[in-house]
Amino acid sequence: MKTTVVLLRHAQSEGNLNRVYVGHSELPLTPFGLKQAKKCADYIVNGGVPKPDVILSSDLIRAIQTALPTSLALGLPILPDPALREIYSGKWEGVHFDDIARLYPECFRIWCEDPANSRPGDGESMRELYERIGGALDRIVNTYRGKTVLAVTHATPIRCLHCRAAFGTVERMNEAEWFPNASFTVLEEEDGVLTETLGGFAGHLTDELLFEE
């Protein structure tokens, strides 16, 4: 029985706009991000991606705010799930990317060049995140077998799941793409096989609503 998980990266947050590494820190969406979230809801309601039976979200405010317009439009509650959070980045939390590169050059180099073996800010490692988000996906599939689930989450968890679907291993994380804010990635699981049918789609965003870090 096929289960569909529609991953939605949260819309533009204050951290994205200001190029701050946010991790588990709480920064809300910008006014621009709120417009992106509404556009995502419109696209879902109009059948641009499979319409969800269930809405799950990271419990961080930027993800909840992204899920809210879809929740209101479809009359579905948002079910917060801490396992869908962004990677925890320790000493990097709340630090500007330029300062990270200056203050932690070797750690930042590994994050950029060899992400599978990175541990940003002595926080959560990429391998730990890969296991966490992979476990969350397995749980979602087993809980909502045969249904379509919208899961609103973050850039690095989506990158991990994209890597899992494309390569089946965290070792090839350096080949996995980063997908833009407010983009959709669609995963299908059937008989133990995970397939990505859409990756980082942002065609629903007009040019004035497309933000790339």
* DSSP 8-state code for residue 146: T
Using CA atoms, how far apart are residues 28 and 147, in angstroms rounded to an integer? 30
Using CA atoms, how far apart are residues 10 and 40, in angstroms rounded to an integer? 10
Which H or E element spans position 1?
A: none
Using CA atoms, how far apart are residues 204 and 35, in angstroms rounded to an integer? 12
Q: Which of 86, 124, 188, 189 is catalytic?
A: 86
Q: Which of 10, 24, 154, 204 is catalytic?
A: 10
10 is catalytic: yes
Using CA atoms, how far apart are residues 84 and 67, in angstroms rounded to an integer? 13
Q: How far is CA 55 from the centre of its chain?
A: 14
Using CA atoms, how far apart are residues 177 and 152, in angstroms rounded to an integer? 18
Q: Could you report how far apart the first and last alpha carbons of the chain are, in Å?
A: 38
Which H or E element spans position 64?
A: helix 61-74
31 burial type by CB count under 10 A (0-12 exposed, 13-18 middle, 19+ buried)? exposed
Using CA atoms, how far apart are residues 5 and 87, in angstroms rounded to an integer? 20
Q: Name the residues annotated as catalytic.
A: 10, 86
